[in-house]
Amino acid sequence: MQLFVEQVLNGIANGVVYGSVALALVLIFRTTSVLNFAQGEMALFSTYITWKLADEGDGFGLPIVAAIAISMVIAFVAGAVIERVLIRPVEQARSPLNVVIVTLGLFLGLNSVAQLLFGTDPQFMPSPFPEGSIELFSSGGDTAVLPKSTIGMILVLLAECILLWFLLQRTKAGLMLRAVASNPDSARLHGIRSGRMLMLGWAMAAAIGALAGSLVAAQRTGFDASLMQTVLVFALAAAALGGFDSLLGAVVAGLVVGIADALTIQYVDALDGIEVVLPLALILIVLVVRPNGLFGRRTVERV
Amino acid sequence: MSLLELVSVRGGYGPVRVLDDVDLTVEEGHVAVVLGANGAGKTTTLRAISGMIHARGEILFDGQSILGRSPEAVAKLGIAHVPQGRGTFTDLTVEENLRVGAVNRTGGGVKTDLDRWYSVFPRLAERRNQEAGSMSGGEQQMLALARAMMARPRLLLLDEPSLGLAPLVTRELFAQLGDLNRNDGLTVLVVEQNANLALDIGHWGYVLEAGHIAVQGAAAQLHDDEAVRKAYLGF
Amino acid sequence: MATPSDSSGAATEPAIGTVPEALAEPTVGEGARPSIWPPVPRLVLGIRIVIGVALSVAALYAPFYFTPENNRILSQAIYLSIAAMGLNLLTGFNGQVSIGHGAFFGVGAFTTAILMVDHDWTFEATIPVAAALSGLVGLLVGFPALRVRGLYLALVTLGLAVLFPRVASKYVEGAGGVALLRPKRSGFASLIDGLDDDQWAYFLCLAIAVVLFLLAWNLVRGRMGRAMIAVRDQEIAASTVGVNLAGIKVGTFALSAAYAGVAGSLSVMINRIADATNPVLYLQLSIEFLVAMVIGGAATILGPAVGAFILVFLRRNTEDLIEGKEILAPAIFGAALIAIVYVLPEGVVGGVRRLLARLGRRSAGSAARPAPASASDVPNDSINPGGSHEEGT
């Protein structure tokens, strides 16, 4: 029992990471219909910027919260620029595969430039959350604990979901964003500047990615350029599981993937070494039964 | 005064020239009908007006040149273009679709307009929280019309509204269009293959052939003229 | 007849009942619609023939001119192009996006390696088995793929590519206890006296590639190919014309997997290793196939080959481009990819085709302006042909 709870909590800690990157992936997809394979590396670059701003040795020594905030602003601008300069011209040629290639190119480029600029040594990221853990319950001498940082991340994620939901569903800007994502040409005919909306979508996703990366790095004892690489696959899985058009779905699915992965590692010996089968099998089954993911809205095709 | 004037408009897609000296005028408060076979350039004409393609020549809206302006800018001037395929925002609900139509309006009255269009098109009211992509072609066409009207445009451009619609639905649609024109003074430029219904509500008709106007005249007369009908309109 | 007004960028819904262009009418004989392939003016044909002959001669002479190391690299480009072609059939022509063909490649590679190491087969005999096995796996994947669309399919296939090395590690044990097999060199010996091993390897790859490309070319030009394209473009309409959707989609999946499997098999000959210890290798391969296909030109026949060679060339050259800053090699590679896709959105082959088409047009006379309609002979005088009308009515 103890082990089970421990693994679930482990899974939650990881799942929060996957969920936060999945959130950014889904946001970009919902607003621009692009699957951004470079999401992880964009977050990585922003994480390094946060670190540079906060580091007392080589950096500017700012308080961590301020560093994260500034990094998010920088990411916001950078995301808009990337969309305008790299993505939009290619997307206008109308092949989604071309855009995939560009995001892959970005993936390679950002990772390598980050290594060049910031070095390959592991770095330390201060945490905005208080130290320590919260006791959940005890049973027979063992106590199940959840680190405060994990709780903090869950709260941050929930706050993001709520804010984004409000923005997308209840504001005019959100309506325009979704209109552009649904039918960019028609949106233009209604006087909506599609280009601006696309830039906004990327900007927001980049900012969220910066937040996610910074918090993830703070969770660990040290981070380096490989921070996001394993995360990305699980984040993609989580985004798919949740249904690519559901923000909350991405977060929930992230947790599901994290927990499922942890439990599989622990309990299913037959899959020893290939535990990743479980999340993938989960996704496959879900998609076969519900082709739009767990929370995705059903899109009916009309001839 | 002409609300819309096209003079010697030429345009197309890349190396393919579709429009070849198109001259067209639409009077304020009129319904102008553009007829012609597939490939004649009807859709292209509307796209030239709303700025979706590059064109040369002169396009004047209310005396102002709008040639070369982006579709967003043209829309903001008060021209609403309902494209072929209806331009439905399939992932948004019916009500959200209508609200998109009103995004550029300043001042209030959006709710009033919503209520108005719900009463004109009851089927939209029934489905107001439904995903627009799940509606039938006819319903989407009604939605497209209402959405365009939410912007309170001065000029409505309609591209083959009857395409893919059942005859009864088409009749209803054109009846609504006629009402809007008579009661609200809405100026309409409608491009159609279904000449009969369009000419019935129209004031002036043009027949487009191979990129330029071959024949034009009062809608009623085009409708009744047998030779024109046989040669150009196929009925 | 496709109308120009339908070919602009704006989204147009096809009218209910339209048949996908690819299936509409016969493409030969009197009164037939022009083929979906562009017509070829004589100048263009001439250019193509010259280039084709030159390349063929170069390809046949190359292995005798280059060092074994370079022959190895050329052979790598060749099997990469086979895999890219397989992906092209599925993604370019049939519209099912896969980022997991590395897994099928791996199946082929390990089939060959296991047969050679554990059962002492000669290499050449393993190729058909590798093809069949990977095709079978492709078939199995193709069925659930029917239910999964676009983006989700891409992600599921990505999962396959991530999964493969782990599954292989679990069930395959090589000499060192890890999933790494090194078949004996003698198994790859040249079957023709007078040809060195590396030259034989090159020619074998080349021959198989030519056969497979011709097969693909023939397929795409025929009924099956048109059905594949129709399914890609307008699935629902295609099914109403009697195209067996499931059959085409699953069949294409299996075929494309078989191509990747053959490539994997060949890779064992060239690299003399089948290695599953690197968890991201097969994902990287999947991405390489995709990149090769796109930069070469998706849905073309030569595209995958061109793309594969460009890819290999780029990789070799960005590696030693910047002394002391090798860390930037991926960045340069990435930048090069972005640049190519920017400048040539239809890939190299697409871009070249466009250029040749323009040349062809210029040599055949400028694009005809639509002829002005003859004067109307309608007698009624309230109708003015073409002139502006007066106010009123």
pLDDT tens-digit map of C225-235:
888 888 888 77
As a dihedral over the C-alpha atoms of residue C348, residue C351, residue C353, residue C359, rounded to 10 degrees, the angle is -130
Give the model's confidence band at C3: pLDDT under 50 very low, under 70 low, under 90 confident, else very high.
very low
- Please enumerate in sequence order all residues whose Cβ is within 8 A of that of C317, keeping only pairs 6 or more positions apart, or say none: none
R_g (Cα) of chain B, nearest Å: 17
The domain ranges of chain C are 3-387
Residues of C whose CB is below 8 A from A234: none
β-pair partners for C181? C274
Q: Considering CB atoms only, which of A115, A186, A273 is closest to C166?
A: A273
Q: Considering CB atoms only, which of A186, A299, A300 is closest to B87?
A: A186
Task: Reply yes or no on domain C3-387 having CATH 1.10.3470.
Answer: yes
β-pair partners for A143? A138
Residue of A nearest to C238 (CA): A303
β-pair partners for A147? A133
Measure the CA–CA gap between C272 and C87, rounded to whole angstroms: 24
Whether residues C97 and A97 touch (CB distance < 8 A) is answered with yes
Mean predicted confidence (pLDDT) in A29-57: 89
Q: Which residue has the tokens 């909506």?
A: A192
pLDDT for the residue numbered A295: 65
Measure the CA–CA gap between C161 and C308, rounded to whole angstroms: 20
Give the model's confidence band at A269: pLDDT under 50 very low, under 70 low, under 90 confident, else very high.
low
pLDDT, block means (10 residues), chain B with 235 residues:
88 84 91 86 91 91 90 93 90 93 86 90 90 89 92 93 85 88 90 84 89 86 78 64
Range of the domain at A111: 22-226
| Cβ-based neighbour number of residue B167 at 10 Å | 10
Measure the CA–CA gap between C138 and C284, rounded to whole angstroms: 19
DSSP type of residue B93? B
Q: Helix (H) and strand (E) counts for chain A?
A: 12, 2
How many B×C Cβ pairs under 8 Å? 108
- Please enumerate in sequence order all residues whose Cβ is within 8 A of that of A97, keeping only pairs 6 or more positions apart, or say none: C91, C97, C290, C293, C294, C298
Task: Give tens-digit pLDDT for A5-26.
Answer: 888 888 888 898 899 999 999 9
pLDDT for the residue numbered C325: 63
Whether residues C156 and A116 touch (CB distance < 8 A) is answered with no
- Please enumerate in sequence order all residues whose Cβ is within 8 A of that of A113, keeping only pairs 6 or more positions apart, or say none: A45, C328, C331
Q: What is the ipTM of this complex?
A: 0.90
Cβ atoms of A34 and A87 within 8 Å: the answer is: yes
Mean predicted confidence (pLDDT) in A235-264: 85
Distance of CA A300 to the CA centre of its chain: 28
pLDDT surpassing 60 at residue C127: yes
Task: Give tens-digit pLDDT for A63-89.
Answer: 889 999 999 999 999 999 999 998 888
Q: Helix (H) and strand (E) counts for chain C?
A: 13, 2
β-pair partners for A134? A146
Burial B11-23 (b: 16+ CB within 10 A, else e): bbbeeebbbbebb
pLDDT for the residue numbered C159: 82
A contact test, residue of B46, B47, B50, B89 with most A CBs within 10 A: B89
Give the Å distances, CA to CA, from C198 to A127, A238, C205, C263: 57, 46, 11, 17
Measure the CA–CA gap between A239 and A30, rounded to whole angstroms: 11
Burial C20-58 (b: 16+ CB within 10 A, else e): bbbbbeeeeeeeeeeeeeeeebeebeebeeeeeeeeeee
Whether residues B83 and A300 touch (CB distance < 8 A) is answered with no
Give the model's confidence band at C2: pLDDT under 50 very low, under 70 low, under 90 confident, else very high.
very low
Show the beta-strand stretches assigned E in B36-114: 55-61, 64-65, 79-82
Q: Considering CB atoms only, which of C91, C236, C328 is closest to A303?
A: C236
Give the model's confidence band at A293: pLDDT under 50 very low, under 70 low, under 90 confident, else very high.
low
Measure the CA–CA gap between B81 and A189, rounded to whole angstroms: 6
Measure the CA–CA gap between A83 and A80, rounded to whole angstroms: 5
Residue of C nearest to A92 (CA): C9
pLDDT for the residue numbered A24: 93
Q: Considering CB atoms only, which of B52, B91, B151 is closest to A190?
A: B151
- Please enumerate in sequence order all residues whose Cβ is within 8 A of that of A2, keeping only pairs 6 or more positions apart, or say none: A139, A140, A142, A144
Whether residues B215 and C378 touch (CB distance < 8 A) is answered with yes
Whether residues B27 and C391 touch (CB distance < 8 A) is answered with yes
CA atoms within 13 A on the CB side of A134: 10
pLDDT surpassing 90 at residue C246: no
Residue A296 lies in a domain: no
Q: Considering CB atoms only, which of C152, C170, C325 is closest to A291?
A: C152
B contact test, residue of A94, A183, A194, A246 with most B CBs within 10 A: A183
pLDDT surpassing 90 at residue C89: yes
Q: Which two tokens stand for residue C218?
A: 């023939």
Residues of C whose CB is below 8 A from A276: 159, 162-163, 166
Residue of B nearest to A179 (CA): B89
Cβ atoms of A29 and A97 within 8 Å: the answer is: no
Q: Which amino acid is at A147?
A: P
How many A×B Cβ pairs under 8 Å? 83
Whether residues C156 and A109 touch (CB distance < 8 A) is answered with no
pLDDT surpassing 70 at residue A292: no
β-pair partners for B159? B191
Cβ atoms of C111 and C274 within 8 Å: the answer is: no
**Residue among A96, A36, A93, A23 at smallest CA distance from A247:** A23
B interface toward C at CB cutoff 8 Å?
12-13, 15-18, 20, 23, 25, 27, 38-39, 41-44, 47, 52-53, 83-87, 137, 163-164, 203-204, 209-218, 221-222, 225, 227-228, 231
Whether residues A193 and B72 touch (CB distance < 8 A) is answered with yes
**Residue among A64, A25, A4 at smallest CA distance from A206:** A25
Q: Which two tokens stand for residue C350?
A: 């697409």
Task: Pick the range with the lowest mean pLDDT from A175-179, C152-156, C239-243, C258-262.
Answer: C239-243
Residue of B nearest to A178 (CA): B92
Mean predicted confidence (pLDDT) in C211-224: 91
Q: Considering CB atoms only, which of C149, C152, C331 is closest to A113?
A: C331
SS3 letters across A186-221: HHHHCCCCHHHHHHHHHHHHHHHHHHHHHHHHHHCC
Q: Between residues 13 and 32 of chain C, which touch chain B (CB distance below 8 Å)?
A: 13, 15-16
pLDDT for the residue numbered A271: 60
Residue A32 lies in a domain: yes
Q: Between residues 315 and 374 of chain C, which touch chain B (CB distance below 8 Å)?
A: 361, 367, 369-373
R_g (Cα) of chain A, nearest Å: 20
Mean predicted confidence (pLDDT) in C114-137: 91
Whether residues A179 and B75 touch (CB distance < 8 A) is answered with no
Q: Element (H or E) spanning C274, and its range?
A: strand C274-275
Whether residues B75 and A190 touch (CB distance < 8 A) is answered with yes
DSSP type of residue B58? E
pLDDT surpassing 60 at residue C383: no
Give the model's confidence band at A94: pLDDT under 50 very low, under 70 low, under 90 confident, else very high.
low
Residues of C whose CB is below 8 A from B217: 380, 382-384, 389
pLDDT surpassing 50 at residue A273: yes
* Distance between A192 CA and the closest CA of chain B, angstroms: 6
Phi, psi values for residue B16, rounded to 5°: -90, 115
Residue of A nearest to B152 (CA): A190
A interface toward B at CB cutoff 8 Å?
172, 175-176, 178-179, 181-183, 185-194, 245, 297, 299-300, 302
Mean predicted confidence (pLDDT) in C192-216: 87
Cβ atoms of C138 and C255 within 8 Å: the answer is: yes
Give all chains having 3 or more CB-to-CB distances under 8 Å with chain C: A, B
Cβ atoms of A236 and A216 within 8 Å: the answer is: no
* Distance between C9 CA and the closest CA of chain B, angstroms: 9
Q: Element (H or E) spanning B7, and its range?
A: strand B2-13
Cβ atoms of A208 and A160 within 8 Å: the answer is: yes
The structural domain count of chain A equals 1
What angle (nearest 5°) sits at the alpha carbon of residue C209, between those of residues C204 and C210? 100
Measure the CA–CA gap between A113 and C367, rounded to whole angstroms: 48
